[in-house]
Amino acid sequence: MPRFGPIKRRDLIACLRQLGFTGPFAGGKHQFMLKAEISLTLPNPHQSDIGPGLLSRILRQAGIDRADWERL
């Protein structure tokens, strides 16, 4: 997995797929990914990378520890 920090949305989706998430699927205003009972909302595509603050919130929602993210 990449280091904890700015990441491109495409790379985030690829890493989440490696961790067993499926999708992304179309939702209301945002796309989402699924893994068992976890529904993970993805940020909309924009011009800049996903920053560390938003990445932290996404990983918390996914149940992924920061150390596990950097280790894999």
Give pLDDT, residue 39: 94
Does a structural domain hold residue 3?
no
- The overall pTM is greater than 0.85: yes
Give pLDDT, residue 5: 83
Nearest Cα neighbor of 25 from 37, 10, 42 is 42
Q: How many domains does the chain have?
A: 1
Strand ranges (E), the chain? 22-25, 32-35, 38-41
Query: What's 39's domain CATH number?
Result: 3.30.920.30
Does a structural domain hold residue 4?
no
- The range of the structural domain enclosing residue 59 comes to 9-71
Could you tell me if 35 and 21 are in contact, meaning their C-beta atoms sit under 8 angstroms apart? yes
For every one of its 72 residues, what pLDDT tens digit does the chain have, with 9 covering 90 and above?
567 889 999 999 999 999 999 999 998 899 999 999 999 999 988 888 999 999 999 999 999 988 888 876
